[in-house]
Amino acid sequence: MNRHLISAADLSREDAVRVLDTADELARISDRPIKKLPTLRGRTVVNLFFEDSTRTRISFEAAAKRLSADVINFSAKGSSVGKGESLKDTALTLEAMGADAVVIRHSASGAPHRLAEWVRGSVINAGDGAHEHPTQALLDAFTIRRRFGRSSGAEPGAAAGKPGGGLDGLRVTIVGDILHSRVARSNVLLLHLLGAEVLLVAPPTLLPVAVDAWPCSIGYDLDAALPKSDVVMMLRIQQERMNAAYFPSVREYSRRYGLDAARMGQLPERAIVMHPGPMNRGIEIAAGVADSPRSTVVEQVANGVSVRMAVLYLLLGGAEAGQ
């Protein structure tokens, strides 16, 4: 694996499967009386959050603590932190504190990439603007793999340490605000890498400009896509990033692209419904759908800790590459 995790494109298929396999084993420690491993003792992980986040920050903090790392939380909310030089100053501070890993969330695409040039530790992108959110994609892939029984631990007799598979042949439909979504971009790259067929469904105004270069297909009709989907992933309408009228009204959007109980009925029997959260209940997803047994929303949060533990372990647990 590379030293940093900035984009899902940093991963090879082998790396990605390794993260998922490692997460599979780490998920088991949540059933144990002592939910802690000594592996990253003496290592420092800094959570550098320039943007609001609940689940990602808590998830990274829990993951680092379960591996016995020291965690420093830095929240730039309220301060007048600009871009460019002040990010550099922050980086120099982190350098002086001896951070072994920096988990960064920033509103500017490319901030983690820039940070990686300034610090010696590993940089993990926890969401940069509308660019990428690779650990979210990994936890989504992990959730899909578990639900469809392709993990190494899926069959009771499976040999320990035997690598699990990818997501070959599964059809994943990602619906909604693709334009503002870093989750969508990371997921398209990663799910494609793992062998899934990805279909994006959105109003044309909510698709990014160069989307035809992404390794996926594009559609505009949700009702046509649902019967052919094993997984449907609903994205949040990011009203806080919308500076123009992308659709006539929320109600119309919800009618055409929201997942309600009737639409869920069109899905094949085994299909699952995912949402990276936070949800706008009643807009992109109906409350009944979000709380149905097909929904993996709560599972995704739990799996997030295991997957982030796996990423921290694989980036920090061994010797540095080339050492």
Partner 1 sequence: MPRAHSAAGGPGESVAAPGAGKTVLEQAEISRMLTRIAHEIIERTQGAERVVLLGIPTRGVPLAARLAAGIEQVEGRAVPHGSLDITMYRDDLRLRPARALGRTQVPPDGIDGQLVVLVDDVLYSGRTVRAALDALNDLGRPRAVQLAVLVDRGHRELPIRPDYVGKNLPTSQQEQVRVLLTEVDGEDAVRLRVAR
Which chain residues interact with partner 1 by CB under 8 A? 1, 18, 21-22, 25-26, 28, 32-34, 36-39, 67, 153, 159-161, 163, 313-315, 317-319, 321
CB-nearer residue toward partner 1: 42 or 78: 42
How many C-beta neighbours within 10 Å does residue 30 have?
12
CB-nearer residue toward partner 1: 172 or 194: 194
- Work out how close the CB of 218 gets to partner 1 at its nearest, in angstroms, rounded to a whole number: 37
CB-nearer residue toward partner 1: 142 or 247: 142
CB-nearer residue toward partner 1: 55 or 150: 150
Residue 203 to residue 67: CA distance in whole angstroms: 43
Bridge partners (DSSP) of residue 296 are: none
- Work out how close the CB of 161 gets to partner 1 at its nearest, in angstroms, rounded to a whole number: 5
* CA 40 to each of CA 49, 67, 101, 107, 309: distance values in angstroms, whole numbers, following the listed order: 22, 5, 11, 29, 10
Is 314 within 8 Å of 122 (Cβ atoms)?
no
Is 200 within 8 Å of 181 (Cβ atoms)?
no
Residue 296 to residue 45: CA distance in whole angstroms: 29
- Work out how close the CB of 22 gets to partner 1 at its nearest, in angstroms, rounded to a whole number: 5
Residue 77 to residue 80: CA distance in whole angstroms: 8
- Work out how close the CB of 318 gets to partner 1 at its nearest, in angstroms, rounded to a whole number: 3
Residue 6 to residue 215: CA distance in whole angstroms: 19
- Beta-carbon contacts of 133 under 8 Å, excluding residues fewer than 6 positions away, are 56, 125, 126, 127, 182, 183, 186
- Work out how close the CB of 60 gets to partner 1 at its nearest, in angstroms, rounded to a whole number: 18
CB-nearer residue toward partner 1: 36 or 256: 36
Residue 289 to residue 105: CA distance in whole angstroms: 30
Report residue 108 as tokens: 């500017």
CB-nearer residue toward partner 1: 213 or 319: 319
- Work out how close the CB of 26 gets to partner 1 at its nearest, in angstroms, rounded to a whole number: 7
Q: Which residue type occupies 38?
A: P
Secondary structure element (H or E) that encloses residue 166, with its range = none
CB-nearer residue toward partner 1: 182 or 308: 308
Residue length, the chain? Answer: 323
- Work out how close the CB of 314 gets to partner 1 at its nearest, in angstroms, rounded to a whole number: 5
